[in-house]
Amino acid sequence: MRKYKTQMEAAKKGIITREMEIVAKKEKLDPNFIMRKVAKGEVAIPCNIMHTSISPEGIGDGLKTKINVNLGVSGDCNNYENEMKKVDLALKFHAEAIMDLSNYGKTNSFRSKLIKKSTAMIGTVPMYDAIGYLEKDLLDIKAKDFLEVVRAHAKEGVDFMTIHAGINKRAVEAFKREKRTMNIVSRGGSLLFAWMEMTGQENPFYEYYDELLDILREYDVTISLGDALRPGCLDDSSDAGQISELIELGTLAQRAWEKDVQVLIEGPGHMAMNEIAANMKIEKRICHNAPFYVLGPLVTDIAPGYDHITAAIGGAIAAANGANFLCYVTPAEHLRLPDLADVKEGIIASKIAAHAADISKGIKGEADKDIEMAKARHKLDWNEMFDIAIDGEKAREYFESTPPKDRHSCSMCGKMCAVRTTNRILAGKKVEFDVVTADCE
């Protein structure tokens, strides 16, 4: 029988849990360091007691930057078999989290299979599932009905849930005054805003926040406090709506910690590069160093089809300046439900951003693979390079697509390869070339 309900309660009692030990081993850190960080709320270990297949991960300051992969069906694309293939991709490339954002039909059967299979932590947005689960139109849903959906997801084994509790009436007033270019771009936030405006009532997740926390505590579900008012374009970034909601999230984080519920804070969104560092510092200050989970940020609005790149640029800057958890973005962002190729591109771009940021932060062991790659390149050992690469299959495919005559170089430089030339000279050998005289017409 556990002497604690949640990881945070255990940490406050000075108990190092099995999950903390696993995280410490992965991070090459002392378990006591992890325990102290969890107790303060600066590290979260999302790990539902019902998710038995999980390999626990820590999210927060001093740890490696983690990435999340979004998937799930919609009304236009409802092939669950295809979504499970995306799960396989996410696990293959070591994504630490998968969010099921399904918003069509009865989603629990897919989610149950996902939770049973996945070693990665699983997240959801219960608001997306409310209409299908409750079989009611939005206007007909009662305030406490939303808590039923939260409980259902918790029972299934969901490790963290995005709950847009910060978009209360005060935050809505700030949003309306601002007269944004893009208004609300959060799907869950827009649904709550619509429900509040149609019913005239307060946000049910804010009004019944204590009851919500009791449900999450029972299953040790981490609350990911959603940014309903995140900017959806550069013109709306860092405005009164975004910041007023962030202030609410800081208070809600403290209330969750008082009940031993772990917390993530969600952040922007779209944002120019010169604003990113300041936004990371503001979140850490206002939200008491809670782990920060960011979507992008996307650093330009004019690259549809390439938004995995705009997000990776922003994500690397964000993580280097304090963000702890990156939500991947695919080339299909803003355009369609991503296919398998899109998902892979999004995962790799996000992994690159996270790794680059961790090197800049001096995270223990993160530069080791880069040193290994440099040594393999020095030896011109292609197979070793492919083994070390984030996506060795793609690297090998590129190399083999135009094979060089000399395997000790690539087809771009051939025998003029700088590494080959220098290695031969330092080894006391001559550098010679096959001189070819071409006829010019």
The pTM assigned to this predicted structure is 0.94
The model's confidence at residue 408, banded by pLDDT at 50, 70 and 90, is confident
Q: Flag whether pLDDT at 302 surpasses 70.
A: yes
For range 140-150, the mean pLDDT? 97
Structure confidence by residue, pLDDT tens digits, 186-204? 999 999 999 999 999 999 9
User: pLDDT confidence of 325, banded at 50, 70, 90?
Assistant: very high
Binding residues: 70, 99, 128, 164, 186-188, 227-230, 266, 270, 293, 334, 410, 413, 417
Percent above pLDDT 90 for the chain:
88
Task: Enumerate domains of the chain plus CATH numbers.
Answer: 7-361 (3.20.20.540), 368-426 (no CATH)
Spatial separation of the C-alpha atoms in residues 396 and 417, rounded to whole Å? 18
Average pLDDT (135-143) is: 95
- Spell out the alpha helix ranges (H) of 122-166: 126-134, 145-156
98 to 59, 189, 378, 402: CA distances (angstroms) = 14, 20, 37, 36
Q: What does 74-105 look like in DSSP terms, one character per residue?
A: -SS---HHHHHHHHHHHHHTT-SEEEE---SS
**pLDDT surpassing 90 at residue 109:** no
Give the residue ranges of the annotated binding site for [4Fe-4S] cluster.
Answer: 410, 413, 417
N-term to C-term CA, the chain:
86
Over residues 2-18, the mean pLDDT reads 96
Identify the DSSP state of 413: T
Amino acid at the residue 310: T
Range 146-162 average pLDDT: 98
The model's pLDDT over 51-100, given as tens digits with 9 standing for 90+, comes to 999 999 999 999 999 999 999 877 667 788 899 999 999 999 999 999 99
Q: Which residues are annotated as a binding site for substrate?
A: 70, 99, 128, 164, 186-188, 227-230, 266, 293
Which residues contact residue 103 at a Cβ distance below 8 angstroms, ignoring those fewer than 6 apart?
Answer: 72, 73, 74, 75, 128, 129, 132, 187
By DSSP bridging, strand 121-124 and strand 222-225 are unpaired
C-alpha torsion 428→430→431→436, nearest 10: -170
pLDDT of 79 = 84
Q: Hey, what are 128's tokens?
A: 């997306």
Q: For position 414, what pLDDT does the model report? A: 86
pLDDT at 262 > cutoff 70: yes
- Which pLDDT does position 441 carry in this prediction? 46
* 265 has pLDDT over 70: yes
Is pLDDT of 104 > 80? no
Tokens representing 35 are: 């325990």
| Cis peptide bond N-terminal to 46, omega within 30 | no
pLDDT digits (tens, 9 = 90+) for 222-258: 999 999 999 999 999 999 999 999 999 999 999 999 9
Mean pLDDT of the chain: 95
Concatenating the DSSP letter of every residue in 389-429 gives STTHHHHHHHHHHS--SSTTS-TTTGGG-HHHHHHHHHTT-
- Measured CA to CA, the distance from residue 34 to residue 31 in angstroms comes to 5
For position 73, what pLDDT does the model report? 78
Q: What's the pLDDT at 66?
A: 98
As annotated, the binding site for Zn(2+) includes 270, 334
